[in-house]
């Protein structure tokens, strides 16, 4: 809004300044000279008559004759002695208008002693029309400036409209140009941000749909196979084995549905998630025994950050995120897991380190996408459905934090949760 106002204001101001100088030159020189020449031409005959009378009569008497003769004419006259202080720079025999707006002509007699005032002299309509034409040109120029500005704005809006129509027609790769020639405030940037988000959502939706179909196919196929087995063989051992397998498949489907619901719920939540201030060091100390419970490998808690560690979190979501990271580390760890609390001065850092095989550098972004499992040999029972890390990322995002994966000092992978520290007031 400000940029549009300033551009229009600057354009009109520049046009007004230019027109001012043009009109100043027009009225001061060309039009004033034209009007003076026309008026002098109309009154030249009167001055010639005066000079004839001055040869035969005294100046005062000649002036009285002229005043009576032209009193009722279109050009009334009056005589007065010439006073250089009143009418400077008027040569003998010269006639001119001292004030162009009044068109009173002053004529100095050839002897230089007398001055005749003629007028006001009325100009012909075609000369007076020049002022109207000049005024029309002023408004015409202002109209052209406004038209040029509107065309400039319309071109930008039209370009953005074409991008919007193309995007709506299915071209998800199109983006609005951000150069000054096509930029419409910050609208182009906002359009591109929106388009990128929508593209990612649509791609994610398609990928999620395909992945869900794939994840459901395997347990459904196993359940159908077991039902076929029960139809052909109803012996107690076979029946018990088929029922136990069916229960496992149902549990797997139930876990998948729960994870999908959790993932969808986190994606729908906004950044206005209500958070509470907690002492992360105390909270982590209380949570650690539950994380360590039934762990197949050893777990160690290290608190490297000894100062006050106040953060705004959703305790349930953060506990779920840490539980997912610990269970992921337990799958890969050979001997132990180390959970560390540290800080970089602005963020509280929660490191989950294992001594497993680590995560390849090329996969450290993709690993947080839904249904991504780097070890394709792992089964659903040992590796889950590939939603755990995606749920962790969404949970940390809602708390204003970030997650990243690096190489661990233990030799495996290090997953780091970075949560903003609450600023301490003086």
Residue 93: band (very low, low, confident or very high) from pLDDT cuts 50, 70, 90: confident
| Gap between the Cα atoms of 245 and 222, Å rounded | 8
* 46-81 residue pLDDT tens: 767 767 777 767 777 777 777 776 666 667 777 777
Instruction: Give residue 363's Cα distance to chain centre.
Output: 33
| Span 139-145, average pLDDT | 81
* 221-245 residue pLDDT tens: 888 888 888 788 778 887 888 888 8
- The yes-or-no verdict on residue 355 having pLDDT over 50 is yes
Q: What are phi and psi of 52, to 5 degrees?
A: -65, -45
Q: Identify the pLDDT of residue 47.
A: 67
Q: Identify the pLDDT of residue 299.
A: 93
Instruction: Please indicate whether residue 363 or residue 383 has the higher confidence score (pLDDT).
Output: 363
Between CA 328 and CA 337, with CA 333 as vertex, the angle to 5 degrees is 85
| Span 291-306, average pLDDT | 88
* 366-402 residue pLDDT tens: 888 777 766 554 444 444 566 788 888 888 888 889 9
Q: Identify the pLDDT of residue 29.
A: 58
| Whether the Cβ atoms of residue 66 and residue 116 lie closer than 8 Å to each other | yes
**Token pair for 257:** 């549905």
- The yes-or-no verdict on residue 220 having pLDDT over 70 is yes
- The yes-or-no verdict on residue 270 having pLDDT over 60 is no
Q: What proportion of the chain, given as a percentage, has pLDDT over 90?
A: 16
- The yes-or-no verdict on residue 317 having pLDDT over 50 is yes
Q: Which of 7-16, 159-168, 263-272 has the lowest mean pLDDT?
A: 263-272
| Whether the Cβ atoms of residue 110 and residue 94 lie closer than 8 Å to each other | no
- The yes-or-no verdict on residue 4 having pLDDT over 70 is no
Residue 28: band (very low, low, confident or very high) from pLDDT cuts 50, 70, 90: low
The domains located in the chain, with CATH, are 2-126 (no CATH), 187-268 (1.10.287.130), 276-420 (3.30.565.10)
Q: Identify the pLDDT of residue 381.
A: 45
Instruction: Please indicate whether residue 354 or residue 197 has the higher confidence score (pLDDT).
Output: 354
Q: Which of 21-30, 174-183, 376-385 has the lowest mean pLDDT?
A: 376-385
Which residues are within 8 A (CB) of 399 and not within 5 positions of it... i.e. 6 or more apart? 273, 275, 312, 313, 314, 317, 318, 419
Between CA 208 and CA 342, with CA 393 as vertex, the angle to 5 degrees is 165
Residue 414: band (very low, low, confident or very high) from pLDDT cuts 50, 70, 90: very high
Q: Which of 31-35, 102-106, 298-302, 309-313 has the lowest mean pLDDT?
A: 31-35
């Amino acid at each position: 809004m400000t940029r549009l106002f300033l551009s229009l204001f600057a354009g009109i101001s520049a046009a007004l300044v230019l027109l001012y100088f043009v009109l100043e030159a027009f009225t001061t020189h060309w039009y004033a000279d034209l009007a003076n020449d026309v008026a002098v031409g109309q009154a030249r005959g009167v001055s010639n008559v005066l000079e004839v009378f001055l040869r035969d009569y005294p100046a005062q008497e000649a002036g009285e004759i002229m005043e009576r003769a032209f009193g009722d004419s279109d050009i009334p006259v009056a005589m007065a002695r010439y006073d250089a202080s009143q009418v400077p720079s008027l040569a003998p025999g010269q006639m001119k208008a001292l004030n162009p707006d009044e068109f009173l002509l002053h004529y100095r007699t050839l002897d230089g002693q007398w001055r005749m005032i003629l007028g006001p002299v009325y100009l012909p309509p075609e000369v007076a029309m020049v002022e109207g034409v000049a005024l029309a040109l002023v408004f015409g120029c202002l109209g052209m400036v406004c038209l040029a500005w509107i065309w400039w704005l319309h071109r930008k809006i039209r370009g953005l409209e074409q991008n919007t129509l193309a995007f709506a027609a299915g071209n998800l790769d199109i983006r609005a140009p951000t150069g000054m020639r096509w930029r419409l405030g910050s609208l182009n940037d906002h359009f591109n941000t929106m388009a990128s988000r929508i593209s990612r959502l649509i791609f994610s939706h398609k990928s999620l749909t395909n992945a869900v179909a794939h994840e459901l196919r395997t347990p459904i196929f196993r359940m159908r196979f077991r039902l076929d087995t029960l139809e052909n063989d109803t012996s107690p051992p076979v029946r018990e084995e088929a029922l136990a397998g069916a229960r496992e498949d149902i549990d797997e489907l139930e876990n998948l549905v729960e994870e999908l619901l959790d993932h969808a719920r986190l994606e729908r939540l906004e950044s206005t998630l209500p958070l509470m201030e907690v002492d992360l060091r105390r909270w982590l100390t209380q949570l650690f025994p539950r994380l360590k419970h039934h762990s197949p490998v050893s777990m160690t808690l290290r608190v490297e950050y000894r100062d006050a560690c106040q953060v705004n979190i959703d305790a349930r979501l953060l506990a779920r995120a840490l539980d997912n990271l610990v269970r992921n580390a337990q799958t890969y760890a050979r001997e132990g897991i180390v959970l560390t609390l540290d800080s970089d001065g602005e963020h509280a850092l929660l490191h989950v380190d294992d001594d497993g095989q680590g995560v390849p550098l090329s996969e450290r972004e993709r690993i947080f996408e839904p249904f991504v499992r780097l070890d394709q040999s792992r089964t659903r029972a040992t590796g889950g459905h590939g939603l755990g890390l995606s749920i962790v990322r969404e949970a940390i995002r809602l708390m204003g934090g970030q997650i990243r994966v690096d190489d661990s000092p233990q030799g495996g992978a290090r997953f780091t949760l970075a949560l903003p520290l609450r600023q301490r007031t003086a």
